[in-house]
Amino acid sequence: MSAAPIKIAIAGALGRMGQAVAAAVQADPALILVARFDRPDAQGEGLVSAAQALAACDVIIDFTTPAASAALAEQAAGKGVALVLGSTGFDAAQIAAVAQAAKTTAIVRAGNFSLGLNMLMGLVAQAARALPADGYDIEIFEAHHRRKVDAPSGTALMLGEAAAKGRGVSLSQVARHARDGITGERPVEEIGFSVLRGGGIIGEHSVTFAADDEILTLSHSARDRGLFARGAAAAARWVAGRPAGEYDMQDVLGFSKER
């Protein structure tokens, strides 16, 4: 006898990612979409309140805003509902709120739900570990559509963390987010970030290791927003029934040790 499908609710249901996630959930026989909700003042057929969604589901998939996600995490923790959070741009207080909620429920929080991008993170860490900092400068470039409100992207920061981990340094100590005017010579361990915003770009990321005599570039290009939605659906399947804790896509995909 097959297991009952996992009951899914979608936060931010009227947004582009919310609609893509709904399609991915409906295409997955292991999942069933039981509730859709958005802002309290949102109007849309079939929308319910957050409280109704929490009462009806096993897992909520949320691609909204950091503030909304942090508030939802607190509510979900009180109900024992698992979460998949795809919002980016969290500040320290919001990260702490999610971590507190993860003490009583299972939460997957990721800046990117793509299999290929998560593979890229491992390759970046490996390259940063192998290539000497005094010979190879690291630059991270990302491009997204004009409507994206945070920069650098959560994915770019994840790649920066992977590079910093490979080099055994703290990203906060070596990151450079802007250059203008007379900047002086580049520090040896600096990890630079460059950002493009325009058009309808779904997501482009590259990490360049630049030496005097060669340049190595590792890159990922997203061609369909459904890529991230399918990854979020996979994360929902994985997190349902998991012990309380904060997880990421490295856990979901088996790239890190089971917690």
**Residue 25: which pLDDT band, with cuts at 50, 70 and 90?**
very high
| Residue 250 or 93, more confident | 93
Q: What is the mean pLDDT of residues 133-140?
A: 98
Q: Which residues contact 180 (CB under 8 A, 6 or more apart)?
A: none
CB 46 within 8 A of CB 69: no
> How is the beta sheet containing 191-197 ordered, strand by strand?
175-176, 191-197, 137-144, 203-210, 215-222
Which 8-state DSSP code applies to residue 115?
Answer: H
Residues 250-259 have a mean pLDDT of 72
H-only helix segments in 47-195 = 50-56, 66-79, 92-101, 115-130, 154-167, 171-174
Helix (H, G, I), strand (E, B) or coil at 122: helix
Q: Which of 60-64, 112-116, 128-132, 167-171 bottoms out in mean pLDDT, i.e. has the lowest?
A: 112-116
pLDDT at 259: 40
DSSP sequence for 205-217 = EEEEEE-SS-EEE
DSSP SS3 for 117: helix
Could you tell me which residue, 257 or 126, shows the higher pLDDT? 126
Say if residue 99 is exposed, middle or buried (CB neighbours under 10 Å; 0-12, 13-18, 19+): middle
Catalytic residues: 144, 148
Average pLDDT over residues 45-66: 96
Sorted by where each starts, the structural domains of the chain and their CATH numbers stand as: 6-113+225-252 (3.40.50.720), 115-222 (3.30.360.10)
Tell me the whole-structure pTM to 2 decimals.
Answer: 0.80
The answer to whether 120 and 159 have CB atoms below 8 angstroms apart is yes
| Order of all β-strands in the sheet with 106-109 | 31-37, 6-11, 59-62, 82-85, 106-109, 245-247
Give first-to-last CA distance, the chain, whole Å.
29
